Amino acid sequence: MNKVTSILLVGVGGQGTILAGRVLSLAAALYGGQVKVSDIHGMAQRGGSVVTQVRFGPRVYAPVIDPGAADYIVAAEILEARRWLSYLRPEGVMIVNTQEIPPLPVLTGAADYPQGLLEEMRGLAGEIKVVPGLELAGAAGSVKALNLVLLGVLSRYLPFAPADWEAAITQAVPPRWLEVNKRAFELGRAASC
C-alpha cells in the first residue's frame, strides 16, 4: 500500500468511538508507516456527536479528513452515519450499526428522527455494510462492546494482521473488559464475510 487510508469513526458520546479510534490507530502503528489521529472530544461525555479521524500510510501530513475523502466511515448510529456521509469517497465503504439514538431536539419533540435513512444511504454510498452491532455485542457479553464489533467488521477491509489487531486491543482495553471485547471483535470480523 503506498497511498494513505482515511477512516472516519462517528457516533454519539458514550458509544465508545474514542476507544475504537485508539485500537484502530494502535493496529495501524503496528502495521508500519505513519499514523495520525484527530480526536476532538471536548463534549464527548455530554451526548454530543463524536468523530475520530484516523489516517495511515507511508507518509501522512494532515490529521484531518476532507469531505469526500474518507475511504471508510464506521458509524455507530444511523443519524450520525447520514450526517457524515458526505465525507465518504464515491467508492468508499460505509459500515453502519443499526441503532437509532434520538438527539435532544427529538426527545423534546422539537424535531422528528428522520425515517428511511438506511435506504436513502444505500442509494447514495458506494458500499454500505449494515451491522446489527448491539445484537452481536450482546452475544459477546456486553452491549458496551459495540465499538469492537464494528472494528471487527472494518478489519476485513484492512491489511493489518490478526496478531496486530489482538495486540492493539490488548493495549487499549482495560484488562477486565478484554475478553468480552476480543469476542466482540471476532463476532464482527466473522459477520462481515
Partner 1 sequence: MRELLLGNHAVARGAYEAGVSVAAAYPGTPSTEIIEALALYPEIYTEWAPNEKVALEVAAGAAIGGGRALAAMKHVGLNVAADPLMTLAYTGVNAGLVVVSADDPGLFSSQNEQDNRYYARLAQIPCLEPADSQEARDFTMLAFDLSERFDTPVMLRLTTRVAHSYSLVETGLRQEAGLKDYVKQPPKYVMLPAFGRARHPLVEERRERLKAYAETAPVNRVEWADRRVGVITAGIAYQYVKEALPGVSVLKLGLTYPLPEKLVREFAGGVGTCFVVEELEPFLEEQVRLLGLSVIGKEIIPRVGELSPALVAGTVGRRAALLVPDLAANWTVRDQALSQVAAALDLPARPPVMCPGCPHRGVFYTLKKLNLVVTGDIGCYTLGASPPLSSMDTCICMGASVGMALGMEKARGRDFARRLVAVIGDSTFLHSGMTGLLDWVYNRGSGTLIILDNGTTAMTGHQHHPGTGYTAAGDPTFKVDLEQLVRGLGVSRVRVVDPYDLDEVEATVKEEVDTAEPSVIIARRSCALLKKEEKGAVCKVDEGSCLGCRKCLELGCPALSFVEGQACIDALQCNGCGLCASVCPSQAISEAGVVYE
Q: How far is residue 114's CA from residue 94's CA, in Å, rounded to a whole number?
A: 19
- The CB density around residue 90, as the number of other CB atoms within 10 Å, is 8
SS3 56: strand
Q: Is 113 among the residues that bind partner 1 (CB under 8 A)?
A: yes
Q: Is 86 among the residues that bind partner 1 (CB under 8 A)?
A: yes
Q: How far is residue 62's CA from residue 52's CA, in Å, rounded to a whole number?
A: 14
Among 125, 136, 137, 150, binds partner 1 (CB under 8 A): 125
Least distance between partner 1 and beta carbon 79 (Å): 6
User: With left for phi above 0 and alpha for psi between -120 and 50, is residue 16 left, alpha or beta?
Assistant: left
Decide: 164 and 34 in contact? Cβ < 8 Å. no
User: With left for phi above 0 and alpha for psi between -120 and 50, is residue 110 left, alpha or beta?
Assistant: alpha
Q: Is 106 among the residues that bind partner 1 (CB under 8 A)?
A: yes
Q: How far is residue 34's CA from residue 79's CA, in Å, rounded to a whole number?
A: 31
Q: Is 89 among the residues that bind partner 1 (CB under 8 A)?
A: yes
Least distance between partner 1 and beta carbon 159 (Å): 18
Rg (CA), the chain: 16
Among 1, 58, 100, 107, binds partner 1 (CB under 8 A): 107
Chain residues 26-85 in contact with partner 1, contact rule CB under 8 A = 26, 29, 34-43, 45-49, 60-64, 66-69, 79-80, 82-83, 85
Q: Is 183 among the residues that bind partner 1 (CB under 8 A)?
A: no
Output 39 or 186, the one with its CB closest to partner 1.
39
| Interface ranges with partner 1 (CB under 8 A) | 12-13, 25-26, 29, 34-43, 45-49, 60-64, 66-69, 79-80, 82-83, 85-90, 92, 102-114, 124-125
